[in-house]
Structure 1
Amino acid sequence: MIRTTRRGEEPQTAGASTQESRRPERRVPGGPLALAIAIVIVLGLLVASLFVGVYDIGDGAFGAEMFWITRVPRTLALMLAGAALATSGLVMQMLTQNRFVDATTSGTTEWASLGLLLTALLTPSMGLVGKMIVSSLFAFVGAMAFMLILRRIVIRSTLVVPLVGIMLGAVVSALTTFLAAQFNLLQMVSTWFLGSFTQVVRGRYEVLWVVAIVTILVFLLADRITVAGLGKDIATSVGVRYEATLIAGTALVAVAAGVTTVVVGFLPFLGLVVPNIVSMIRGDNVRGNLPWVCLGGIALVAVCDLVGRTIRLPFEIPVSLILGTIGAVVFIVLLLRRRRG
């Protein structure tokens, strides 16, 4: 069958016209080969983390002992913390339907620090596991308070949502600072907010394996979290228990924030930077983006840690300072992109 054409055009068959009218499918960057290359790069960064530092690990038995006491725990800690906080940031962004939300901009980390301070005041002899539980509970309370406040906001523009979290976190942080000043614990609180892997040694990082479970659960609940992020009506219509999924996702974020605060400290903007960069490159496929978000979180923390360890040897710059600088720049860039859009 021949399609009639205008003057000066060549005749086309109907089949050819149908094929040409179809839009080419947009290929999502990052296939199996790219993922394998990314894994190799991240493994290279982790190996570099094992062999960078002040101690000479080739110095006989003492160097080998320090390798297993400090280097291996530190590398495992940055790997676990980076993957957990990056994925928890993705969960927060899906549940709030806002790209500018993570544990930093929702006040969750500040609530975890408040819980940690109260354990130091009321039960100073409490062990690391107990502090982790209390800190995670306070982080959960803070995250749920943030979610409840969002439900009562009529105008939920792009900037209002993170602004609410930042203001809530500022109030909790002020309360934490006041209590710390009253009981001469300001130095301890400042250490928490300056996140660093300096104090991570064998015997102090093992509780971080809990956040590995959190990361696995995020993978298992990815589809439900995605549907819950579309809203209560849509989630309920397709058979997803919206409230249960919301609570479960918030609990995962709280555990990740609470545990990392106890062991490592404050790692700002990690859950904001990595998911947004991955989404800009690959789109909004949550399940497909999760491996990339994990690898990106590990890579970013590893790079910041390596820079902090090498830029002023033998001294060390906390990871949070470098990460906060990168996160602030990315946050501003995202705001400008949103405004142009």
Structure 2
Amino acid sequence: MKNFIITAFIIFLSIISIFLGVATVNLSDIFVQGTNSNNIIFLSRIPRTISIITAGFGMSICGLIMQQLTMNKFVSPTTAGTADSSKLGILIALLFFPRESIIFKMLIASAFTMGGTFLFLGIIRKIKIKDNALVPLIGMMISGILSSITMFFAYKGDLIQSINSWLFGDFSGVLKGNYELLYITIPLVLIAFFYSKQFTISGMGEEFATNLGINYKTIVNIGLILVCFISSLVMITVGGIPFLGLIIPNIVSLFFGDNLSKNLYITGALGGLFLLLCDILGRVVIYPHEIPIGMITGVFGSGIFLAMIFRRLNFEE
């Protein structure tokens, strides 16, 4: 029932998103090929809405998988250095392979994303005191270092403006023909559904998973590879969307428990719903101008993240 309700809300907000905008759309001309209304709907607004839902679904699932495998509710692509590793990879692609295809650049970004994520995991495994609030702070320190390196070399290569375009997610430039790379996240999400039960068991610890016949290291690697590819796809297509993969899995966990296999769809759907709400809000607050969606999610996400930390500290006291 809950899945049906959230899906219905997504459909409702999708209709609002499609018909919301500065340009006037004539309903009678929508399905008339070549008219201005037809072009606005099918070349701009429908692709934008699809990309928002796809990105929200993918990034929320990334956060859920990372939190399950690391057994830490504060871990996500934003707080584990994953997003900033992807930005560094994008910079390397722009510096050394500017004429290569977008797929090639995505692969480079994914390679750097994997490197940054495994670096984060390697560091926290060496730390004896693994406080839940300390782990993401370490990830944010790694993110800060990677971001500084990225901006330094972007300045040297006169690519500051190009890199800044990835600092905050922005769907205003999404048009038919430049967002279809996000469709690759669909089979990746299906793979996540296929391994969902193994992810749930692996999240209970290596010893427990091994006793149940699960190859713990293989499952963890599969999960992290999925996270890295999905994060890179979203980053290189629409830019960074901070805190989405952090707050949505925690909200779902708070109301529906920690069973990943049961919560996978609702987490992704709620992520798409939340991103649609943020996008609509960003388009109406200073209408007819628009606030980048990354800024909206950053404001809401950072506030919820701080509330989570203070809640955890108060609980421990």
Q: Which residue is 2:77 aligned to?
A: 103
Q: Quick one: distance in 1 between partners of 2:261 and 2:66?
A: 15
In 2, the alpha carbon distance for the partners of 1:52 and 1:130 equals 34
Match of 2:21 in 1: 53
Structure 2 match to 1:17: none
Tell me the residue number matched to 1:252.
226
- Work out the percentage of aligned pairs sharing the same amino acid: 33
Partner amino acid, structure 2, of 1:41: F
Work out whether 1:80 is the aligned partner of 2:48. Answer: no
Q: Distance in 2 between matches of 1:146 and 1:322?
A: 27
Q: How does 1:60-71 map to 2 (within 5 A)?
A: 60=29, 61-71=35-45
Give the Å deviation of 1:62.
1.2
Q: Distance in 2 between matches of 1:315 and 1:160?
A: 39
How far apart, in 2, do the equivalents of 1:57 and 1:264 lie?
25
State the SS of the aligned residue for 1:119: helix
RMSD: 1.2
Show the counterpart of 1:287.
Answer: 261
**Which residue in 1 is equivalent to 2:8?**
40
| 1:143 Cα offset (Å) | 1.0
Q: Does 1:194 align with 2:162?
A: no
Q: Deviations over 1:188-235 (max 9, x none)?
A: 111101211011111111110111122211111111111111221111
**Residues in 1 aligned to 2:21 and 2:91: alpha-carbon distance in whole angstroms:** 31
- Structure-2 residue corresponding to 1:119: 93
Gaps of 5+ in 1: 1-31
Shift in Å, 1:35: 2.4
Distance in 2 (alpha carbons) for counterparts of 1:314 and 1:39: 29
State how far apart, in whole Å, the 1-side matches of 2:25 and 2:91 are: 36
1:307 aligns with 2:281: yes
The question of whether the paired residues in 1 share the 8 Å contact of 2:57 and 2:271 is answered with yes
For 2:77 and 2:36, the matched residues in 1 are separated by 39
Please say if residues 74 and 136 of structure 2, whose CA atoms lie closer than 8 Å, have aligned partners that are also in contact. yes
Shift of 1:239: 0.7
The answer to whether 1:224 aligns with 2:198 is: yes
Give SS of 1:53's match: coil
Contact 2:199 2:260 in 1 (8 A): no
Q: How many residues align?
A: 309
Shift of 1:58: 1.7
Q: Is the 8 A contact 2:252 2:263 kept in 1?
A: yes
Q: Are 2:111 and 1:137 aligned?
A: yes
One-letter identity of the residue aligned with 2:5 = I
Match of 1:262? 236
State whether residues 17 and 280 of structure 2, in contact with CA within 8 Å, keep that contact through their aligned partners in structure 1. Answer: yes
SS in 2 for 1:192: coil
Letter in 2 for 1:205: Y
Shift of 1:160: 1.7
- For 2:80 and 2:199, the matched residues in 1 are separated by 18
Separation in structure 2 between the aligned mates of residue 37 and residue 243 of structure 1, nearest angstrom: 37
Pairwise CA distance, 1:56: 1.9
* CA–CA distance in structure 1, aligned partners of residues 262 and 209 of structure 2: 20
Q: Could you tell me which residue of structure 2 aligns to residue 20 of structure 1?
A: none
Larger Rg: 1 or 2?
1
Q: CA deviation at 1:184?
A: 1.3
Of the structure 1 ranges 93-102 and 49-58, higher mean CA displacement relative to structure 2 is found in 49-58
Contact 2:6 2:273 in 1 (8 A): no
* TM-score (norm: length of structure 2): 0.95
Gaps spanning 5+ residues in structure 2: where?
30-34
Q: 2 CA distance for matches of 1:58 and 1:130? A: 40
Deviation at 1:151, TM superposition (A): 1.4
3-state SS of the aligned residue for 1:72?
Answer: helix
**Structure 2 counterpart of 1:95, one-letter code:** L
Q: Distance in 2 between matches of 1:188 and 1:238?
A: 48
AA aligned opposite 2:114: F
Larger displacement relative to structure 2 (330-339 or 242-251)? 330-339
Listed as ranges, the matches of 1:204-219 within 5 Å are 204-219=178-193
Shift of 1:57: 2.6
Supply the distance in 2 between the matched residues of 1:225 and 1:288 (Cα, whole angstroms).
Answer: 11
2:196 and 2:260 in contact (8 A); partners too:
yes
Q: TM-score, normalised by structure 1?
A: 0.88
Please state whether the residue corresponding to 1:313 is helix, strand or coil: coil
SS in 1 for 2:115: helix
Look up the equivalent residue of 2:213 and give its one-letter code. G
The Cα offsets for residues 128-159 of structure 1, whole Å up to 9 and x where unpaired, read as 21121111111111111111112111111111
Does residue 1:277 correspond to 2:251, yes or no?
yes
CA distance in 2: counterparts of 1:302 and 1:120, whole angstroms: 30
Q: Which residue of 2 aligns with 1:327?
A: 301
